[in-house]
Structure 1
Amino acid sequence: MAVKQTAGRNALGEFAPKFAQLNDDVLFGEVWSREDKLSLRDRSLVTVVALMAQGLVDSSFKYHLTTAKKNGITKAEIAEILTHAAFYAGWPKAWAAFYMAKEVWTEERDGDEADHARKAHEDSMVFPIGQPNDGFAQYFVGQSYLAPVSTDQAGIFNVTFEPGCRNNWHIHYGDKGGGQILVCVAGRGYYQEEGKEARELHPGDVVNIPVGVKHWHGAAPDSWFSHLAVEVPGENTSNEWCEAVSDEEYGKLR
């Protein structure tokens, strides 16, 4: 399978188009794609050692370490590879390479732990987490997820917040109805109305939000949180997004 790369064109396409083309189409598109000669894993190993030997432990080195991890080189293997190369490339170069390799494989461990926490949260409720809430990302601090539950008689959505995630202050409007109801289904979170103390939320809690009330809701700093957001039917309903909940405001809830 051909390796597709656009970094050259993205960084140097206008300034050095030929270099960019050679980088993307020849180095990666042809050389890296010759898996009948060497596997991607083997090419990553060779590249990492070659860069380390030159002392080039910069952003490109981190890129190739990350690629090596994606191509199947484990933390134990990269530690052995750099240890072996140290005797030929130089001890100080190995120290520098180890510092960056430790970052890359620690990121992997942290990512695994985050995935495990997310999976455990999803398993604790009957509703799915859904997809990243990209359409409203500008109104959230942190990552949220959205899963439609029903859109017929009333809009019902399962909204999930990663630890520390919260939406901006906002206000629901509507004539003859409107507003929102939150039904908490998993994790621990907060709800706060302007001028009032924040309320801690747990599974089974219900929050009725009238129209015209400025408020926010989201997860606790150390817990995933999910609630059903029920859009109360009404006439001329709308939503006004306001400022974000600052770290200082949110930090007081710890």
Structure 2
Amino acid sequence: MNDPKTPGWNGGQNAFGDFAPGLVHYTDKVLFDEVWERQGLSKRDRSLITISALTALGKIDQLQFHLAFARRNGVTDEELKEALLQLAFYSGWPNGMGATTVLKNIIDSEQGSDMHATDFDQIFPLGEKNDAYAQYFFGQSYLAPLASGSVPVSNVSFEPGCRNNWHIHRGGGGGGDQILLCTAGSGWYQAEGEDPVSMEPGTVVRVPAGTKHWHGAKADSWFSHIAFITPGEGVSNEWLEPVTDEEYGKLPKYGEKA
């Protein structure tokens, strides 16, 4: 198993803050930072087990997150459909139907976005679905490589509401800085502990190496940016926890600037 390590989960903290410190600790530091990171099972298998348990218990509200999380962990849509069919027989037909409805809504939402992807007006190619990095994104993104060599340059496009996980670019000797240049649409960049930055065409952001950050589209707008990393010593990327719905929901909506 070669699952990437993604410690630093803070979903419980974002949801409850100081209200329930014990629950926050065991959710973030034990369940996600330890149990989900154990090597005895892949994250893919852990997702299937979790979905089976939640479906059997009728916990439809939690399946919205865990079905999407399973897809990011490598479970295909066809595998999820088959798993839910099997569960319908063993955990009760209403439970299976409810879980399948959640999955259908997730897929339908993405397909509805795909219908408008080619209508997004931008100067660079949209590219292909960014499946290789899907586990690190919420929603659909697209990747169009523009230049290779020592400084690869890509155009990254996000459907409305799509964003990548918190992550850190590392490097030394001047390397590891990320440069983001917004070319179309409207999106967000945010560094940990700082206010979000509204990105419009022409906005340029330099992300210093070692900065924990995320970027993605606004809730009502497609978004594209050019991205590249400055070359140097030991350049690498560390993917961390997703940007939670609570964090994203605090941002201004309808294209308002921060």
TM interval, short-chain normalised: 0.5 to 0.7
Deviation at 1:207, TM superposition (A): 0.5
Deviation at 1:188, TM superposition (A): 0.5
Query: Hey, what does 1:131 align to over in structure 2?
Result: 128
Q: Structure 2: which amino acid aligns with 1:137?
A: A
Deviation at 1:115, TM superposition (A): 4.4
Deviation at 1:126, TM superposition (A): 1.7
Consecutive unaligned residues of structure 2, counting only runs of 5 or more, are 1-77, 84-95, 97-103, 254-258
The answer to whether structure 1 residue 177 and structure 2 residue 177 are counterparts is: no
Q: Structure 2: which amino acid aligns with 1:158?
A: N
Q: Deviations over 1:173-226 (max 9, x none)?
A: 001122110010110000000001111110110000100110000000111100
Matches of 2:166 and 2:114, distance apart in 1: 28
**Any residues of structure 2 matched to 1:89-168 within 5 Å, and which?**
114-121=113-120, 124-168=121-165
The number of residues matched between the two structures is: 154
Deviation at 1:161, TM superposition (A): 0.6
| SS in structure 2 of the partner of residue 174 of structure 1 | strand
Matches of 1:204 and 1:163, distance apart in 2: 19
The answer to whether structure 1 residue 232 and structure 2 residue 223 are counterparts is: no
> Identical aligned pairs, as a percentage?
54
Q: Deviations over 1:56-115 (max 9, x none)?
A: xxx9xxxxxxxxxxxxxxxxxxxxxxxxxxxxxxxxxxxxxxxxxxx99xx69x95x644
| SS in structure 1 of the partner of residue 118 of structure 2 | helix
Matches of 1:153 and 1:119, distance apart in 2: 30
Q: Structure 2: which amino acid aligns with 1:252?
A: K
Which consecutive aligned stretches of 4+ in structure 1 deviate over 2 angstroms post-superposition? 113-117
Q: Structure 1: which amino acid aligns with 2:184?
A: A
CA contact (8 A) 2:172 2:232 kept: yes
Consecutive unaligned residues of structure 1, counting only runs of 5 or more, are 1-5, 12-58, 60-102
| SS in structure 1 of the partner of residue 133 of structure 2 | helix
Deviation at 1:120, TM superposition (A): 2.0
- TM-score of the pair, normalised by structure 2: 0.54
**Any residues of structure 2 matched to 1:181-200 within 5 Å, and which?**
181-200=179-198
Deviation at 1:133, TM superposition (A): 0.7
| SS in structure 2 of the partner of residue 120 of structure 1 | coil
| SS in structure 1 of the partner of residue 132 of structure 2 | helix
Deviation at 1:116, TM superposition (A): 4.9
Q: Structure 2: which amino acid aligns with 1:214?
A: K
Of structures 1 and 2, the one with the larger relative CO (CA 8 A, separation 6+) is 2
Matches of 1:250 and 1:133, distance apart in 2: 21
| SS in structure 1 of the partner of residue 161 of structure 2 | coil
- TM-score of the pair, normalised by structure 1: 0.55
State which structure, 1 or 2, has the greater radius of gyration over its C-alpha atoms.
1
Change (3 A) 1:116 1:141: closer
